[in-house]
Amino acid sequence: MGAKCCPTWPYTVLNLPPAIQLLKAVLNQLPGIGPRSAERIALHLVQSKEDKVHQLVHAIQEAKERVALCEQCGGLTESQPCPLCSNPQRLKELICVVVKPTDILNLEKSHAFRGHYHVLGGQISPINGVGPEDLQIKSLEERITKNLVQEVILALGSDLEGDATSFYLAKRLSACGIKVTRIAQGLPAGSELDYADELTLERALQGRRVIQHD
Amino acid sequence: MGAKCCPTWPYTVLNLPPAIQLLKAVLNQLPGIGPRSAERIALHLVQSKEDKVHQLVHAIQEAKERVALCEQCGGLTESQPCPLCSNPQRLKELICVVVKPTDILNLEKSHAFRGHYHVLGGQISPINGVGPEDLQIKSLEERITKNLVQEVILALGSDLEGDATSFYLAKRLSACGIKVTRIAQGLPAGSELDYADELTLERALQGRRVIQHD
């Protein structure tokens, strides 16, 4: 803590107590928590009342214990199958394929999809040594056959790995005789052309649609 | 989660599993953690490996268990008295009075003080019902007498409560026959006049000092 800039300082400079330093380091690993936030939270916690700290620890343990992946779709759930998979109002003939469990939450917020989901668990990435056999593709094929699925919508990333995985899946799943589509790429809603990069504009142009009018 | 904007949506919109919602709410109470960060961290935790979650829980519990307030100065410590109070190189005749334990950490980072500290535990605030009897003033007076303290430096806030508390302490402690000073108010280091408010400039002017030259 600044000891370098003042090597001759003859008085012990107070460091954080070791237990707080450790807590800070662990908190610093959480997403979006930098060293300053981590220190602030660590100092807050050691000065909080016992029951507040217990509440936090309990909430973490409970969540970790209760939440698992749905055996059918791979989404986060506390019951098996998850509320989505067990909802009779959702269309079984329609499956939206996503990369990770939290993608389902984002798509659900859009209120634009009424079918089922399937979490792949990753994308094909030769650099990272991830091949098709590492993804939940077999279980997807089983669901397609079992539920007489008519269309699979690929909602993967719009990056290179998303492209590769979508291309691979489109080819493999078409063999099942079903329609395979991919969500559109283009301008984000509420945006201007000023803020779009070339690739986004290229894909927006390629994906152009006829305007429906009466 | 957006249900308002679409009251006729006939399909159950997936909410976060209850245990994640609870964890999110608890995390949201931590300093600097808004609802979005809280959700991100909660989702990260339930998807983390068991040992990572255990590491976090353990670090929180250890820190809470080991860290206490120093019986002498009121700072955060794992040993009694704290490393600062037990350091023979620090001057016992000089006490810097601060509001809360973390103020000590900030002052130590400045490398500008080589005496002892004393945590008041608050500031006089009639609105919040905090009077002098709620603060660690008696123990401060005892330390002053016991350690033959010559100067007490008040490093309290520069707000109304800090002013009131400083004024009160200056009056009360002067009765012990010691020098009572208050840290300077003025321009923050590296700042320009453009960014200073009127009160800061007024106090900077009042606190002006003769430039030392040979």
Residue B22 Cα, gap to closest chain A Cα (Å): 7
Please enumerate in sequence order all residues whose Cβ is within 8 A of that of B50, keeping only pairs 6 or more positions apart, or say none: A64
- The total domain count for chain A is 2
B28 lies in the same domain as B95: no
Say if B60 falls within a structural domain: no
Which of B41, B60, B109 is facing A23, going by the closest CB pair? B60
> Are residues B44 and B81 both part of a single domain?
no
Residue-wise burial string across A142-174, b where 16 or more C-beta atoms lie within 10 A, e elsewhere: ebbeeeebeebbbbbebeebbbebbebbeeebe
Q: Are B156 and B173 contacting, i.e. CB atoms less than 8 angstroms apart?
A: no
Domain identity same for B47 and B86: no
> Within this chain, do residues A42 and A94 fall inside the same structural domain, yes or no?
no
Nearest CA in chain B to A45: B64
pLDDT confidence of residue A26:
96
Assigned domain for A23 exists? yes
- Tally of residues, chain B: 214
Shared domain for B119 and B84, answered yes or no, is yes
Same domain, B86 and B175: yes
Residues B97 and B161 in one domain: yes
The 3 state secondary structure assigned to chain B is CCHHHCCCCCCCCCCCCHHHHHHHHHHCCCCCCCHHHHHHHHHHHHCCCHHHHHHHHHHHHHHHHHCEECCCCCCEECCCCCCCCCCCCCEEEEEEEECCHHHHHHHHHCCCCCEEEEECCCCCEHHHCECHHHCCCHHHHHHHHHCCCCEEEECCCCCHHHHHHHHHHHHHHHCCCCEEEECCCCCCCCCCHHHCCHHHHHHHHHCCCCCCCC
Q: Which domain holds residue A149?
A: 90-183
CATH number of residue A114's parent domain: 3.40.1360.10
Residue of A23, A27, A99 to mutate, testing the B interface (most B Cβ within 10 Å of its Cβ): A23
Note whether A204 contacts B: Cβ–Cβ < 8 A.
no
Q: Is A117 found in the same domain as A174?
A: yes
Q: What is the pLDDT of residue A2?
A: 41
Q: What CATH number did the domain enclosing A42 receive?
A: 1.10.8.420
| A6 found inside a domain | no
Residue B64 maps to a domain? no
- CB proximity under 8 Å: B 159-198 to A: none
B84: which chain A residues are within 8 Å (Cβ-Cβ)? Answer: 12, 14
Is residue B8 in a domain?
no
Residue A106 lies in a domain: yes
Which residue among A46, A87, A105 sits closest to B76, beta carbon to beta carbon? A46
pLDDT in tens, chain A (214 residues): 444 444 445 555 557 899 999 999 999 999 999 999 999 999 999 999 999 999 999 999 999 999 999 999 999 999 999 999 999 999 999 999 999 999 998 888 888 899 999 999 999 999 999 999 999 999 999 999 999 999 999 999 888 999 999 999 999 998 888 999 999 988 888 888 888 888 888 888 888 888 877 7
- Residue B30 belongs to some domain of the structure: yes
- pLDDT in the model for residue A198: 86
Residue B9: its pLDDT value, please?
52
| Contact residues on chain A for B11, CB-CB shorter than 8 A | 87, 89-90, 114
Using a cut of 0.90, tell me whether the model's pTM lies above it. no
Nearest Cα to Cα of residue A139 among A73, A68, A87, A94: A73
A5 occurs within a structural domain: no
| pLDDT at residue B3, as a whole number | 43
Cα dihedral A63, A66, A71, A77 in deg (nearest 10): -50
B137 and B41, same domain (yes or no): no
Same-domain status, B85 and B164: yes
Element of type H or E holding A174: helix A160-174
CA distance B88 to chain A (A): 9
pLDDT of residue B10: 53
Spans in chain B with pLDDT lower than 70: 1-14
Which pLDDT belongs to residue A4?
44
B111-139, pLDDT tens digit by residue? 889 999 999 999 999 999 999 999 999 99
